[in-house]
Amino acid sequence: MALAGRIRSGISFFKNISVSDARSYPRGGSLIPSLRDYATASAQNTVNVKVPIALVGESGNFASWLYIAAVKMNSLEKIETDLSELVEAMKASPIFAQFTKDPSVPRETRLAAIVDVCDKAKFAEPTKNFLSLLAENGKLKNLDVIVKKFMQLTTAHRGDVKVLVTTVMPLPPAEEKELKDTLQEIIGEGKKVTVEQKIDPSIYGGLIVEFQQKVLDMSIRTRAQQMERLLREPVDFTNL
C-alpha cells in the first residue's frame, strides 16, 4: 500500500528500399488534396469531429488533421495499423529511415517511393494520401513524431489512458498492479489504464508518473535538488 499512498499524496516488409528504383510520379494538385480539405471536407461524412485532446506544434496539427479525416472516413483503426507498421519498418531498416529524413532526396523521388511503399504494403488510401502529402512537402522527417501524436489521439479516442512510470529498476508485478489499480481509481471508470515502464538510473530512486499531461515527480533526484536549493537560501537570523 506504500506505493498507492505515494501516488495519492503526489496528486493535488520495408527492409530495403532503393532510391534508384523510384519512378516518376505526377506532382501535387490532382494526387493529393490540401491537408485542411483532407481533414475537414468529406463528401461521405459531414459530421463535425473534434480531437479528444489538444495538441500543439506543426506535428500536432498534422496528427490532428489526420485524426479528423480518419474518423470521418471510418478508417481510424486501419490508419493506426498502417502507421504502426510503417514505424516498425523504419526501425528495422536504417536505409528506409535515412531515406525519410534525407533532405537531399528530390521531392518527386520521395513521392514516388512512398507511393510505391504504400501500394506494396496495401495501405489504406487515406494513409497513402497522407504519407504522400508529407513526402511532397518535405515533412517525412517528422513522421515518427507525427505518428506518436496521432497515437495519442487514437488512445484518447478509445478512452484509454497511457501512463509512463519512470523508475531506477523495473517494478515488481505486485507493485505495478497496485500502481495501476490506484491510477484507475484516480482516473475513474470507463477508461483503460495502460502502464509503460521506463528505466532511468539517473533519478536515483523513487518514481516519476506521467499521464494526461500531468507529472508526479517523486524521485530522489528531485527531492535532492529541492533540498539543495533550500540549503543554498540565506538564513534570516532576525526571526530566530
Alpha carbons 64 and 82: distance in angstroms, whole number: 17
140 with 69, same domain?
yes
Say if 208 falls within a structural domain: yes
Side-chain-side CA neighbours of 123 within 13 Å: the count stands at: 26
| Domain stop point among 98, 132, 156 | 156
Say if 174 falls within a structural domain: yes
Alpha carbons 24 and 111: distance in angstroms, whole number: 9
228 with 149, same domain?
no
CATH assignment of the domain containing 146: 1.10.520.20
107-140 residue pLDDT tens: 888 889 899 989 989 999 989 999 999 998 888 8
pLDDT of residue 45: 54
Alpha carbons 122 and 117: distance in angstroms, whole number: 8
Q: How would you classify the pairing of strands 206-211 and 192-199?
A: unpaired
**96-115: b or e for each residue (b if 16 or more CB lie within 10 Å)?**
bbebbeeeebeebbbbbbbb
108 with 180, same domain?
no
91 with 137, same domain?
yes
Is residue 81 scored above 90 in pLDDT? yes
Contact call for residues 25 and 112 (beta carbons, < 8 A)? yes
| Domain stop point among 156, 173, 208 | 156
66 with 133, same domain?
yes
200 with 168, same domain?
yes
Alpha carbons 97 and 90: distance in angstroms, whole number: 5
Across the chain, mean pLDDT equals 79
90 with 163, same domain?
no
192 with 209, same domain?
yes
Is residue 30 scored above 50 in pLDDT? no
Say if 50 falls within a structural domain: no
Alpha carbons 52 and 155: distance in angstroms, whole number: 9
**What mean pLDDT comes out for the span 144-173?**
89
Work out how many domains the chain is built from and give that number: 2
Which residues sit opposite 196 in a β-bridge?
164
Say if 27 falls within a structural domain: no
Contact call for residues 150 and 86 (beta carbons, < 8 A)? no
167 with 217, same domain?
yes
184 with 151, same domain?
no
| Domain stop point among 156, 180, 202 | 156
Confidence of residue 240 (pLDDT cuts 50, 70, 90): low
Can you spell out the DSSP letters for 121-183? HT--HHHHHHHHHHHHTT-GGGHHHHHHHHHHHHHHHTTEEEEEEEESSPPPHHHHHHHHHHH
First to last CA, the chain: 40
Full domain range(s) for residue 126: 58-156
